[in-house]
């Protein structure tokens, strides 16, 4: 079992309206993989459960992690995280979850797809992935295309925006269609409707596809049961086919889970 640790805040910056980037110094950086997350505790003693935040960048040698997250309201703890400053400490636990099996992408033509607050984990994935062709397809609401410069340095970038201000108007699937793109492997992270569309697309074409269901987590440490999802495989003894995203995922083979 992982232990809670006091991470040191190195810097904090706002990337877009409500989207923050936090660099912390933590032992968790030593073993972290793309697609994993850390759970961050608030100072509020009445709130005992932490909040899971996905890892956006990893600096193993420097023992640093970059967390990019959205402030989702006063009650979620994320507002408090956004007020942390360099020199502060914050309790974290991690790295948690399985991460993306990016080693499987060797020699493949790949889509790396992210939507909304599922965009940040795609950055470290893009940095570590070695494949034949790296097509990064990310979707935003509007012209606040956070992390765009970093993505451009790590692959061929395609953007969709809901309001059409940058790239393809619509979502990541619209961008693929408009640009006439194809792939033989997919890695994706984002809201459920987006993942559902990608899962269908992949299954219709027989493409191996890994999806991160991290947006459905609430505590990240197996305590709240908010993240239970249905999987195809049944337990031999009890006929139970539920999994906890935070313990068994957050990354699953698309054919394994029901969305
Ligand atoms: Fe709380 Fe999985 S997120 S149990």
Domain limits of the chain?
A: 5-96, 102-256
pLDDT of residue 192: 95
Question: Looking at the predicted structure, is the pLDDT value of residue 235 above 60?
Answer: no
Section 126-136 average pLDDT? 97
pLDDT of residue 74: 76
- Pair type for strands 208-212 and 251-253: antiparallel
Question: Looking at the predicted structure, is the pLDDT value of residue 208 above 60?
Answer: yes
Inter-residue contact 113 to 187 (CB < 8 Å)? yes
The vertex-141 CA angle with 135 and 145, nearest 5°, equals 55
CA distance 197 to 203: 10
Helix (H) or strand (E) holding 161: strand 156-161
In tens, the pLDDT along 18-56 reads 999 999 999 999 999 999 999 999 887 666 789 999 999
Mutating to test ligand 1, I would choose from 76, 94, 216, 222 the residue with most ligand atoms within 8 A of its C-beta, which is: 222
For a pLDDT cut of 70, what percent of the chain falls above it? 96
> What distance in angstroms lies between residue 36's CA and the mean position of ligand 1's atoms?
14
Handedness of CA 97, 141, 114, 6 (dihedral sign): negative
Q: Specify whether domain 5-96 bears CATH 3.40.50.12780.
A: no
Question: Looking at the predicted structure, is the pLDDT value of residue 201 above 60?
Answer: yes
Question: Looking at the predicted structure, is the pLDDT value of residue 236 above 60?
Answer: no
> What distance in angstroms lies between residue 243's CA and the mean position of ligand 1's atoms?
10
Ligand 1 and 253: CB distance under 6 A: no
Note if the bond before 250 is cis, omega within 30 degrees: yes
In tens, the pLDDT along 145-175 reads 999 999 999 999 999 999 999 999 999 999 9
CA distance 173 to 179: 10
pLDDT of residue 231: 85
pLDDT of residue 234: 60
pLDDT of residue 151: 98
In tens, the pLDDT along 176-188 reads 999 999 999 999 9
Mutating to test ligand 1, I would choose from 227, 229, 242 the residue with most ligand atoms within 8 A of its C-beta, which is: 227
Complex prediction ipTM: 0.98
Residue 220 CA, closest ligand 1 atom number: 3
Q: Which of 25, 101, 102 is nearest to 67 (CA)?
A: 25
The domain defined by 102-256 folds into Rossmann fold (3.40.50)
The vertex-135 CA angle with 130 and 141, nearest 5°, equals 130
In tens, the pLDDT along 50-102 reads 999 999 999 999 999 999 999 987 777 899 999 999 999 999 999 999 999 99
Scanning the structure block, which residue is given the tokens 């295309």? 145
Ligand 1 and 228: CB distance under 6 A: no
């Amino acid at each position: 079992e992982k232990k809670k640790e006091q991470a040191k805040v190195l810097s904090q910056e706002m990337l877009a309206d409500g989207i923050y980037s936090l660099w912390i110094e933590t032992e968790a950086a030593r073993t972290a993989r793309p697609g994993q997350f850390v759970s961050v505790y608030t100072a509020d003693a009445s709130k005992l459960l932490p909040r899971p935040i996905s890892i956006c960048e990893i600096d193993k040698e420097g023992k640093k992690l970059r967390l990019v997250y959205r402030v989702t309201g006063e009650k979620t703890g994320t507002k408090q995280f956004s007020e942390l400053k360099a020199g502060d400490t914050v309790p974290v636990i991690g790295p948690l979850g399985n991460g993306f099996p990016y080693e499987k992408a060797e020699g493949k033509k790949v889509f790396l797809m992210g939507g909304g607050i599922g965009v940040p984990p795609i950055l470290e994935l893009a940095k570590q992935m070695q494949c034949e062709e790296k097509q990064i397809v990310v979707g935003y609401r509007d012209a606040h295309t956070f992390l765009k410069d970093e993505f451009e340095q790590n692959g061929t970038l395609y953007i969709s925006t809901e309001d059409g201000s940058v790239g393809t108007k619509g979502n990541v699937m619209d961008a693929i269609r408009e640009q006439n793109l194809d792939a033989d492997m997919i890695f994706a992270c984002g809201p459920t409707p987006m993942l559902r569309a990608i899962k269908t697309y992949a299954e219709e074409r027989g493409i191996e596809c890994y999806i991160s269901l991290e947006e459905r987590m609430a505590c990240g440490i197996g305590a709240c049961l908010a993240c239970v999802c249905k999987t195809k495989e049944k337990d031999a003894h009890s006929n139970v086919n539920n999994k906890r995203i935070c313990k068994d995922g957050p990354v699953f083979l698309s054919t394994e889970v029901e969305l």
